[in-house]
Amino acid sequence: MSVTDLGVSARGRALDPTARGVIAMVVGMAFQVSNDAVVKLIAARLPASEIMALRGVMAIVLMLAVILAAGHGPRLKTLANPLVVLRSALEAGCCLLYVTALSGLGLAEFTSIVQATPLILTAIAVAIGWQSVGARRWAAIGVGFVGVLLVAKPSPSGVNAYAALALLSAVIMAVRDLVTRRIPGHAPSLVVTLGATIAVTLLGAAGGAAQPGSWIAPNTREIILLVGVAALVCACNMTIVLAFRLGDMAVVGPFRYSVILGSLILGYAVWGDRPDALGLVGAALIVGSGLYALRRERERGEPTTAAEGVAGPV
């Protein structure tokens, strides 16, 4: 076999763009659940606002380096776009709720609730007239919210406060993603993400300044973990953007639910969490309703809102 034949054979075995997109999505979800797990470890001692501020400073440095390396320096002025500013504010509020909820819930329980974001996104899009859905899609949304209730397990005395915060963060993430749709195309995704990172950092610093007493000085282990989560959150966002640019969103989108499997594995490995039967059924309902909504959107040629809302806040 000639060298030319070997080259042709190698190209034939190369993965197609959609397959590469699927791999990128699974890797992105691995980055996300790893980020959440490390943040949960840090949150055992440091408050949410402090984590946001310290991680944010490190993430800003990383994001600026990537933006300049990609030649997007002249586009930094799009940070002042009103929609970018609004999205950044939503991201900051969402992140505060997200980190606070994560500190008080099991990793798999938290992840399952947050995965309701695409269903919430569809419901809001319908409510404001940006999308229309039929009875079957509404039924799927209803099933998804039943799944959230099974995971959150409300009791006569009320809903777990941390579960409520996780659900509220999912609502804000859905609004954030709707705003993202309206951001002009000349604003690069990296710059939009930088704006969100700056807002998260500022809110964290303000919250830290407002909290009683002095800041808790992170120890060496926590500093290393904070550097790690800064890298993970940047890698997560860039990998997910790559996933959707490489492949068909309707094929790539369902693989975002691999984050639930990852959270089950890490939750058990690190904290010994064992989800109960109701929680597992609830997670299955959330995943099933999301996949059904994605299928219906693909069949009807609609914008695939069910594949959005994949990433947690920066």
Residues 6+ apart with CB under 8 A from 148: 112, 113, 116, 167, 282, 286
40/61 Cα distance (integer angstroms): 23
Instruction: Check if the beta carbon of residue 118 is closer than 8 Å to that of residue 173.
Output: no
- Predicted confidence (pLDDT) per residue in 134-164, tens digit: 888 888 889 999 999 888 877 656 678 999 9
Q: The pTM is what?
A: 0.84
Average pLDDT over residues 278-299: 84
207/175 Cα distance (integer angstroms): 23
- Predicted confidence (pLDDT) per residue in 58-79, tens digit: 999 999 999 999 999 999 999 9
Confidence of residue 200 (pLDDT cuts 50, 70, 90): very high
Give the model's pLDDT for residue 312.
64
Instruction: Check if the beta carbon of residue 150 is closer than 8 Å to that of residue 285.
Output: yes
Average pLDDT over residues 17-32: 90
Write out the two tokens for 58.
């490190």
Q: Indicate whether 100 pLDDT > 50.
A: yes
Confidence of residue 302 (pLDDT cuts 50, 70, 90): low
Share of the chain above pLDDT 90, in %: 49
